[in-house]
Structure 1
Amino acid sequence: MIRLLRLNLVVGLLTLFSFSVGACSQASTPTPTVVTMTTDLTGIKTYLLEQTNALVITTAQLQTAANRYYDLAQTFGFDYATLWQQQTQAAMNVITTAREAWITASPIYEKMEGIVAGTPVLAQFDVDLDAGTAGDEDPANAVSFDLILPDGRVLSKPGNLFGVTESTLWGTEPAFTTAVPTDWNGNGVIEFGEILPDAQVLKASTDQLAVMASELNAAAQSWVPTERDAFTALVVMVPTMSEYFASWRDSRFVLGEATTQRDFNVISRLADIQDILSGLEIVYTQIRPRVAMVDPVQAEQIAIGLRDLKAFVADIYTQERNGRRFTPEEADILGAEAQNRATAITGQISQVAGALGIPITE
């Protein structure tokens, strides 16, 4: 669904701005600006490799913790009630370690998502790692893999790996956790996250996450970014604000215990958006000299637009961290404002790409 929404949005924007440029051409007949210039895009690849290398390290740490939990559960024959009764502190310690590794790994991926998801040769990694759905929910936008558990069970296209591991570690997907009541803080109430994960699911999903992080790292090392890649990433990923705000609206950060969404309940989507925009700013910085050759004023406007959009989201996030609980209606209004800003920025980038004769990959 997310990938389809992005593609539909890109097609609509390209159609809109093709019409706009066409209308102008009838009056002034501008021609694409063809300039012989080699754009240095090494900064994009350097940034991407910094993130992929970090992701390899942190997902390995998550995998190690998950395997320790699996070994602990295996000691008790996967009798989770007995495990909790006899090794309460050990269980909490290893699960906490796994959660801390996940909380470190997830933002690292978000910082490069704009590049990965916006680059056609890398985009499948985004589907499988962070954006893809479960096969029984949305087959057209489902992940490409099945998850084979150590006991031989197969979870067919279970959803993206960060979502599966999150919902297993914090219990937002009952099928991935145990039914054993675990009152971690002893207050007599089972609160968010007070669960024991299914060790089989946790091991399989974190093993797969570590493998895919390494595969993404290898693909990033082989990738040579082009101007077409850079412009495509911006045009595809900048105008995705509405989908991210919708995910935030439906999460526990807005709906609280009423949410039925299993993903994006541990780290606010508002934090993710800022990380994504940070990566896209890196991309734009690399192509800004080319944009300035077409129109220096517009080059500055795009940079300011990206900066202000990020600041807009940061302000909302600061309010949330300071204790404000936004309503779903407020989330929709804020999402519409963010989307309007993003659409305007994307329009400018699309116009420049057209003037330079750089095609956008849909």
Structure 2
Amino acid sequence: MTRLLRFGIMIWIALLLGACSATVTPTPVPTPVSANLDGIKQYLLGQTNALVAAAAQLQTAANRYYELAEAANFDYTALWQNRRNDAIAAITTAREAWITASPIYEKMEGIVAGTPTLAQFDVDLDAGAAGDEDPENAVSFDLVLADGRTLPKPGNLFGVTESALWGTEPAFTAPVVADWNGNGITEFGEALPDAHVLKAGADLLAQMASELDTAARAWTPTESDAFTALVVMVPTMSEYFASWRDSRFVLGEASTQRDFNVISRLADIQDILSGLEIVYAQVRPRVETVDPAQAEQIATGLRDLKAFVADIYIQERNGRRFTPEEADTLGAEAQNRATAITGQISQMAGALGVPLAE
């Protein structure tokens, strides 16, 4: 999620809390119930541990492909002609590892992106833009390649590796026509990655996954962290639906978006909301001390929002191709639901005296 969007959300929250204080704010219970947030950390560590393993598999496969390219002196035409099956096998293994790793991260993105001390990992791993496209929300790193090239702020690492592996970014792809199935048509995914880009991206992704795991182990969640993650990450539906609208899942061959074309953003949203449900479950006992009915409404709202997205995803999986206009309409509905839920959570944070990080 972009920093500008987070800033806008925090302003909206401040205004909302001000409005709530001007109307009716539930009175906090004199004897507070201490929240046990161990479940949040345990859940996060389960995901970071799994991501480290999947990223290592991606790194191993990327290095195998790099070795094949290196043996061909990085002559990709020769590689394709002489080691086609080996190259396809290495790329396929790397793709499978990527498809495993990406959802693992999405399941913890709500916590990582919504926690100020961890949020930079979200920018660099999954949400950050390329520096030449959006300097304000760009990643923090330059990608240094083994051949001496440097790609300044190339975009987030899941995006770099996805677009290299499936050929959606020409700058990350080898200059060779690779007709994988031999039907005479170059179709989506029929490409060879630039081995230097793929290796550097996979190596850095594995490194950052390990660093995130270390940071997560050192982190002790607070009530402020939990409520901040919820109020920052729940109302991001319009952003995710816009990305889905612009992807191949809606636009097909007309899409010019280089990432989020392999796994539908509808699946990502469900994973993110699943993580946020874990977070809310840990603070719900505190909310119940203020307003049990409101506590249940928030839980129901989160569950219904995820079900709403799941229904759209099932239709997509069953072959329905939504139009961009339909995607916008559905995104607006999801955003309205998310905004209402966030208002309730923000009100409860205010009633409990829990500060929200800016």
Q: TM-score range by the shorter chain?
A: over 0.9
CA distance in structure 1 between the aligned counterparts of 2:297 and 2:34, rounded to whole angstroms: 23
Structure 2 stretches of 5 or more lacking a match?
none
2:324 is matched with: 328
1:38 offset after TM fit, Å? Answer: 2.1
Residue 350 (1) aligns with residue 352 (2): no
Report the secondary structure of 1:145's partner residue. Answer: coil
Q: Any residues of structure 2 matched to 1:138-153 within 5 Å, and which?
A: 138-153=134-149
Q: Any residues of structure 2 matched to 1:120-159 within 5 Å, and which?
A: 120-159=116-155
2:18 is matched with: 18
Aligned match for 2:95, one of 66, 83, 99 = 99
Residue 296 (1) aligns with residue 296 (2): no
Report the secondary structure of 1:24's partner residue. Answer: coil
Check conservation: 1:150, 1:200, Cα contact below 8 A. yes
Report the AA paired with residue 152 of structure 1: G
Aligned match for 1:183, one of 172, 175, 179 = 179
Report the AA paired with residue 267 of structure 2: A
Check conservation: 1:59, 1:206, Cα contact below 8 A. yes
Aligned match for 1:269, one of 262, 265, 282 = 265
1:31 offset after TM fit, Å? Answer: 5.0
2:45 is matched with: 49
1:66 is matched with: 62
1:124 offset after TM fit, Å? Answer: 0.3
1:35 offset after TM fit, Å? Answer: 3.6
- Distance 1:152-1:35 versus aligned 2 partners, 3 A rule: farther
1:207 is matched with: 203
Check conservation: 1:7, 1:236, Cα contact below 8 A. no
Check conservation: 1:62, 1:98, Cα contact below 8 A. yes
Check conservation: 2:28, 2:289, Cα contact below 8 A. no
Aligned match for 1:250, one of 220, 223, 246 = 246
1:194 is matched with: 190
1:103 offset after TM fit, Å? Answer: 0.2
Kindly provide the CA deviation profile for residues 203-252 of structure 1, in whole angstroms up to 9, marking residues without a partner as x.
00000000000000000000000000000000000000000000000000
- Distance 1:158-1:299 versus aligned 2 partners, 3 A rule: same
Identical-pair percentage: 76
CA distance in structure 1 between the aligned counterparts of 2:18 and 2:233, rounded to whole angstroms: 19
1:271 offset after TM fit, Å? Answer: 0.1
Report the secondary structure of 1:291's partner residue. Answer: helix
Kindly provide the CA deviation profile for residues 136-177 of structure 1, in whole angstroms up to 9, marking residues without a partner as x.
111111101110000110001110000000000001110000
Check conservation: 2:32, 2:289, Cα contact below 8 A. no
1:36 offset after TM fit, Å? Answer: 3.5
1:329 offset after TM fit, Å? Answer: 0.2
CA distance in structure 2 between the aligned counterparts of 1:68 and 1:270, rounded to whole angstroms: 32
Check conservation: 1:133, 1:158, Cα contact below 8 A. yes
Q: Any residues of structure 2 matched to 1:150-169 within 5 Å, and which?
A: 150-169=146-165
Report the AA paired with residue 5 of structure 2: L
Aligned match for 2:72, one of 76, 97, 101 = 76
Report the AA paired with residue 174 of structure 2: T
- RMSD after superposition: 1.1
Count residues in correspondence. 358
Check conservation: 1:73, 1:80, Cα contact below 8 A. yes
2:5 is matched with: 5
CA distance in structure 2 between the aligned counterparts of 1:5 and 1:252, rounded to whole angstroms: 24
Residue 40 (1) aligns with residue 10 (2): no
Check conservation: 1:117, 1:126, Cα contact below 8 A. yes
Instruction: Please say which of residues 9-18 and 55-64 is displaced more in the overlay.
Output: 9-18
Kindly provide the CA deviation profile for residues 92-131 of structure 1, in whole angstroms up to 9, marking residues without a partner as x.
0100000000000000000000000000000000000000
Report the AA paired with residue 308 of structure 1: D
1:231 is matched with: 227
Report the AA paired with residue 20 of structure 2: S
Report the secondary structure of 2:24's partner residue. Answer: helix
CA distance in structure 1 between the aligned counterparts of 2:310 and 2:16, rounded to whole angstroms: 29
CA distance in structure 2 between the aligned counterparts of 1:43 and 1:16, rounded to whole angstroms: 29
CA distance in structure 2 between the aligned counterparts of 1:3 and 1:318, rounded to whole angstroms: 31
Structure 1 stretches of 5 or more lacking a match?
none
1:33 offset after TM fit, Å? Answer: 4.5
1:2 offset after TM fit, Å? Answer: 2.0
- Distance 1:76-1:177 versus aligned 2 partners, 3 A rule: same
1:20 offset after TM fit, Å? Answer: 2.8
CA distance in structure 2 between the aligned counterparts of 1:107 and 1:49, rounded to whole angstroms: 15
1:19 offset after TM fit, Å? Answer: 1.4
